[in-house]
Amino acid sequence: MPNPQNLTHLDVLIVSEKPDHLRTIVGVVGASPARVSACFTVRQAQVIFARQCPDLVLCDEYLSDGSYRDLLLSTRFGQNSTAFILLLHKGEWEEYLTAMRLGVLDVLRCPLHRPEVEAAVRQAFERKERQIAELSAGVPPDSAAEWPAQDALFEDLLERAAATISPRGSGSNASDHRPTAVRRDVA
């Protein structure tokens, strides 16, 4: 793991209804000086985000009141640098690609294996440590780094809206009705 002194400010949120996931993740993260919180629903996670934005979220693919996408959509559109690790149950390739396109840092297939969790958490910790070092050196945070994830979310929202407005396969070429996302420039 990276330098523990720099990680005392790291907040980790585990969003899972599965006790074995909680045990495995707490077993990995609990060995560091990071502060760990756990909750079981998207709504509970949103409340935590409203109070304080965690540095790392490990979230199940599906929860009783929604999915990881709901949590991403409700929290990603801020000046938030939260690393997000998805716990994928069904292992569907399409969902993996979607998650990565939406800006998820890593995807872990269930059942969870400690070495894989350790590697993913280490990657997130190292990312946070780099951010702390850059801020200490007076380097402004790279807000442009968040744009790809936000653009992917924006495109996903546009695709969902287009699907409800203009169903595909309605006799015309569906690609003619597909919305295009406009790249927003950083001022």
> Can you tell me the distance from the alpha carbon of 34 to that of 84, in angstroms, rounded to the nearest whole number?
16
Domain parsing of the chain, residue ranges: 4-136, 143-177
Answer yes or no: are the C-beta atoms of 21 and 45 closer than 8 Å: no
Residue 17 has pLDDT above 50, yes or no: yes
The pLDDT value given to residue 67: 94
pLDDT tens digits for 145-157?
444 444 555 565 5
Other residues' Cβ atoms within 10 Å of the Cβ of residue 40? 17
Our measurement of the distance from residue 149's CA atom to the centroid of its chain's CA atoms, rounded to an integer in Å, reads 10
pLDDT tens digits for 20-78?
999 999 999 887 788 899 999 999 999 998 888 898 999 999 999 999 999 988 876 44
Q: Which of 55, 60, 49, 58 is nearest to 34 (CA)?
A: 55
Provide the CATH topology of domain 4-136: Rossmann fold (3.40.50)
Q: Are strands 62-63 and 66-67 parallel, antiparallel or unpaired?
A: antiparallel
Beta-bridged to residue 83, according to DSSP, are 56
The pLDDT value given to residue 174: 39
Answer yes or no: are the C-beta atoms of 75 and 52 closer than 8 Å: no
Mean of the pLDDT values across residues 181-185? Answer: 38
DSSP track, the chain: ---GGGGGG-EEEEE-S-HHHHHHHHHHHTTSS-EEEEESSHHHHHHHHHH---SEEEEESEETTEEHHHHHHHHTTSS---EEEEEESS--HHHHHHHHHTT-SEEEESSP-HHHHHHHHHHHHHHHHHHHHHHHTTPPP-GGGGHHHHHHHHHHHHHHHHHHHS-TTSSS-GGGG---PPPPPP-
Our measurement of the distance from residue 77's CA atom to the centroid of its chain's CA atoms, rounded to an integer in Å, reads 12
pLDDT tens digits for 73-96?
887 644 567 899 999 988 788 888
